[in-house]
Structure 1
Amino acid sequence: MANFTVEFPLRTEKYQEDILNKRFEIGRNIYNSLVNVTQKRYKEMIKTKKYRDIMSSLVGNKKIDKGIWKQIDDIRKQYGMLEYSFHKDVKKMQKHFKDNIDSFTAQKIATSLWKSYETVFYGNGKKVYYKKYGTFNTLEGKSNSTGIRFKDDMILWNGLEIPVIIDYSNYYEYQAMQCKICYNRIVRKFIRNKYKYYVQIVFKGNPPVKLNADTGEIKHCIGDGDVGLDIGTRTIAIASQSDVKILELADRIQNIENQKRRILRKMDRSIRSTNPDNYNEDGTIKKQGNKKVIWHKSNHYIKYQNELKELYRKQTAVRKYQHECLANYIISLGNKVYVENMNFAGLQRRAKKTEKNNNGKFKRKKRFGKSLANKAPSMLLTIINRKLGYYGEQLIKIETFEAKASQFNHFDGTYTKKSLSQRWNNFDGVKIQRDLYSAFLIMNIADDLKSFDIDKCNDRFENFYRLHNLEVERLTGQKI
């Protein structure tokens, strides 16, 4: 069953904020202690010959027998590398802090650590990290009956009673409060040089519909039909039977590189003047061997650090808001949304080969790291998939390397490789923007998700070409 989350501000007193800050710090210490315990077991496990042999057999093996996964699970169980083992570990730690952290909240801390290990076991994660001071800002329960509870517009937790600010005149918030509560999460956010506290209530079911305040009509409805998306590092091309668009992702995200550079330069000057003994004569940091280097931060340094935090926070908020709005628009065009299966993590990595250009200079190894960090295309796809899930649909990913949308020509069924700089297709005098045409082809993918339905392409092309010309006219201001 689907869940949805609504965030409400908390009306906290100063003493309540002090208690919450203390509990966040206790939570961080429990998390780090758990990392310490589990890492010892993990390192012992990966040293065993049996485990290393099994893991090496998985490399490059596309068809993996279920028996191998059972052997891996048995070894992990033997070394206590399971979620329930983490729960047992955290139980011993929690009893020392039972006046502040309840057992269910402690179990959720253990679960969050287990998710980090899952990225190492099954994803692209390489290492499990400790939480630095001030970076542990979330504590959540497991149900609304124990631990962190919501009752009578109050959050109740181990002696704390904090009022929740709910606007019952807001139709969305009122309807959300009629749903059954799964569990609650307390969040601390650093906004404009001070901490603010919120509760995120996780409700069962689908989120309530939003209404237009003026007309009373439903704001966001799901459409009917096929939608093709050709998503890049900075832009997205959208093709449907009712609209064709090419849009910049999160276009309100500002270029903060200059601001970041100035703040980082101030921070560097400040930390150097405060800690002169930590630097060599040539400006490099002294190596202390096994001894930990102690850094003293001045008030000016902390001020600049907070300015940088605020920059990142604003960027994050704007990006998420714009992605949510764009996702609403996309699902309003159709209920079958198709997109190529993209490896964004691979695009972020620096190039491995060292190459020279025609002038004999070395090419830069940087790729699309900053664009992907600023525009977050993968986040947009996650949001679209979540919103489709409320209607029993999901984002459909096609086989990129077999379909080859950027190379295909549906008029004659041929494939032609094109350079990235070639932005237009010319089909016997018919000029079509390359990304929009790719989105059109993706919209008309066959049932096998590997080839294109030529009949659909032919039937829909005339309408697509009319909408394509309107979009090009909008972008260039010139009539086609």
Structure 2
Amino acid sequence: MGKSTTPSFVTELPLVVNSRSEKELLSRFQAGRQLYNALLSEAMTRMNLVRNSQAYQEAKKIPKTETKKRQKAFQEARIAYRYSDYDLQAYATVVSNQSRWIGSKVDSNTQQKLATRAFKASEKVMFGQAKRVRFKVSSRLRSLEGKTNKQGIRWSNNQFVWGKLKLKAIINPLNLVTQHGLNAPIKLVRILWRELNGKRRWYVQLVCEGKPFIKPKNTVSDGLIGLDLNLHNLAFVGDEQAGLLPFAEGVPDLSREIRRLQRRMERSRRANNPDNYYPSFKARKGRKQILKKGKAKKGKRQWRISQIYGLSARQKRELERKRTAYARTQNRRLVNEVLRHGKHIKTEKVSLKGWQKRFGKAIGAKSPSFVQSELKRKAENANGSFIAFSTQTTALSQTHLTGERIKKSLSERIHDDVTGVIMQRDLFSAYLSRFVEDNKLSCADAQFEYPRSESILKGAWESFDLQMAKRVGASESPQLVVTSTPAEPFPLKLGKISQIAIPKGFGRQANSHS
């Protein structure tokens, strides 16, 4: 019998960290990184032994219909080579005891969580969900967590505690979301760091028991929603409301600035590493001869990095972080807008990975997969449903109200139905998805209900055209106007708050010497 699970949510708070505390945190993260790499190497070794064993090969031959016998055979193959989460946790204790430095920096609970993390990574390779594992470099391990809130990494008296290390958090007493998380029972605590404006900032995440705080404006109604996703927009049709909403609305692209920084980085790297590139050559482009620069040589690991390259790389990471943060904020607002009109969602099962291969930049900027996953998660948490039906049996973009299918290209955004109905293509597909049951479209019901829904569909189409006209008329600024991000929830009423702790008397001493 599996463990009983209870709903959870995360409350994140920024920490106030001075230079001494940050040095101690970095040393503990370095110890955790080395332990994780050792555990991951051992997990992959044991996994390969299990996969190449005779018992495992015999277990694969057992028919899948004999479920219990097949599971027992696989389990015996794992036990023979001690490939389990529990055995890897025992190995973590052995490694930490042999290395006193790791044992002094990382507590036993955190060691066990790192072992579980490494074991799950190796299992993904074993089950074919991943091709390989990734060992952590110093900048890749960005979070550590405990098992409970009783010992090790924990939250006590409104501060972060890890052994002798105690850090204060920035708490806004007026924030209802934060207060709801602080008053809920805490399952475990996680510490992580992010890079903001080229500087490291530390945060604590409290994994709380219960359901998250829902703002009054984000209430979820009990209704049916037909959904249609494309690269740039989301069309939904509810019982009394419809809409065609763009992904990441108002978020600047910043692609021009990022490309400029990439060119600067490449020029700097070529100037400092001329031996790592093939020589330039002349090539013909039409009637002209142009000089093409040679590509980087494969296998070269010695690279000289200048200060200009490091500065440009930090600026590029910051632009990408801001763009991602603002896009996620806008997409979360879009998800809340859809759920206000219904929590029972029906949509086509589209291949988002196929979209990523064909339209990589558009998918990265708009994140339709993030919207889909958030809709599913929030709808199911609200006791709703998220049904994804097959596109092959329905073909909503080609189907008319009479049931006839007529193919049309992706560039045709207007659906001209054989019954005389003219509607925006995505809105019409979202409307038809409301009448799909068991991967089959009921065209009779859709045709019967259409006169009642035609007014809300036309209203959504008109409002979308007005938004597009405003967007084309007003040029979007490539620079970000807002300076705070969702990762920096500092309220204006609290005044200026810094995450860097300054010892008392530091300013007075500086003033006395000046």
TM-score by length of 2: 0.80
2:399 aligned partner:
408
Residues of 2 paired with 1:64 and 1:258: CA distance? Answer: 56
Which residue does the alignment assign to 2:96?
A: 94
* Offset, 1:91: 2.2
- The equivalent residue for 1:228 is 226
Provide the rounded CA distance (Å) in 2 between the counterparts of 1:389 and 1:38. Answer: 34
3-state SS, counterpart of residue 333 of structure 1 = coil
Aligned ranges 1:275-290 → 2 under 5 Å: 275-282=273-280, 283-286=294-297
Aligned pair 1:417/2:417, yes or no?
A: no
Within the alignment, does 1:463 sit opposite 2:471 as a pair?
Answer: no
Deviations 1:107-155 (A, max 9, x none): 2222223333343344642111112331211111111111111111111
Residue 161 of structure 1: which of 153, 157, 166 is its match? 166
Question: Does 2:374 align with 1:383?
Answer: yes
- 2:416 matched to 1:426? yes
Q: Distance in 2 between matches of 1:471 and 1:209?
A: 27
Q: Which residue of 2 aligns with 1:300?
A: 308
Q: Please name the residue that 2:321 is paired with.
A: 313
- CA 1:417–1:135 in 2, change beyond 3 Å: closer, same or farther? same
Task: Report the alpha carbon displacement of residue 303 of structure 1 after superposing the two structures with TM.
Answer: 1.0
Query: Is the CA contact 1:94–1:102 (under 8 Å) kept in the aligned structure 2?
Result: no
Letter in 1 for 2:362: S
Indicate conservation of the 8 Å contact 2:43/2:122, yes or no: no
For 2:71 and 2:410, how far apart are their aligned partners in 1? 41
Give the secondary-structure state (helix, strand or coil) at the position aligned to 1:29: helix
Please say if residues 43 and 118 of structure 2, whose CA atoms lie closer than 8 Å, have aligned partners that are also in contact.
no
Give ranges in structure 2 of 5+ residues lacking alignment: 1-5, 281-293, 468-514
Q: How does 1:23-422 map to 2 (within 5 A)?
A: 23-48=28-53, 51=56, 66=67, 67-68=69-70, 70-95=72-97, 96=99, 97-122=102-127, 124-210=129-215, 218-282=216-280, 283-286=294-297, 293-349=301-357, 367-409=358-400, 411-422=401-412
Whole-Å separation in 1 of the counterparts to 2:127 and 2:45:
20
CA distance in 2, matches of 1:33, 1:329: 46
Shift of 1:47: 4.3
Identical-pair percentage: 30
- Residue 444 (1) aligns with residue 449 (2): no
Kindly provide the CA deviation profile for residues 74-95 of structure 1, in whole angstroms up to 9, marking residues without a partner as x. 4344444433333233222333
Secondary structure of the residue aligned to 2:10 is strand
Question: Which blocks of at least 5 consecutive residues in structure 1 are unaligned?
Answer: 211-217, 350-366
Deviation (angstroms), 1:15: 0.7
> In structure 2, which of residues 10, 21, 43 is the aligned counterpart of residue 5 of structure 1?
10
Partners of 2:30 and 2:313 lie apart in 1 by: 20
CA pair 340-52 structure 1, distance change in 2 beyond 3 A: farther
> Does the residue aligned with 1:98 lie in a helix, a strand or coil?
helix
User: How many Å separate the matches in 1 of 2:343 and 2:298?
Assistant: 58
Distance 2:109 2:455 in 1: 58
Does the Cα contact within 8 Å between 1:226 and 1:444 map onto a contact in 2? no
Any conservation in 1 of the 2:244–2:427 contact (CA below 8 Å)? yes
Cα displacement (A) at 1:28: 1.8
What secondary structure is seen at the aligned counterpart in 2 of 1:222?
coil
Please report the TM-score for the alignment, with normalisation by the length of structure 1: 0.85
- What amino acid does structure 1 have at the position aligned with 2:386? L
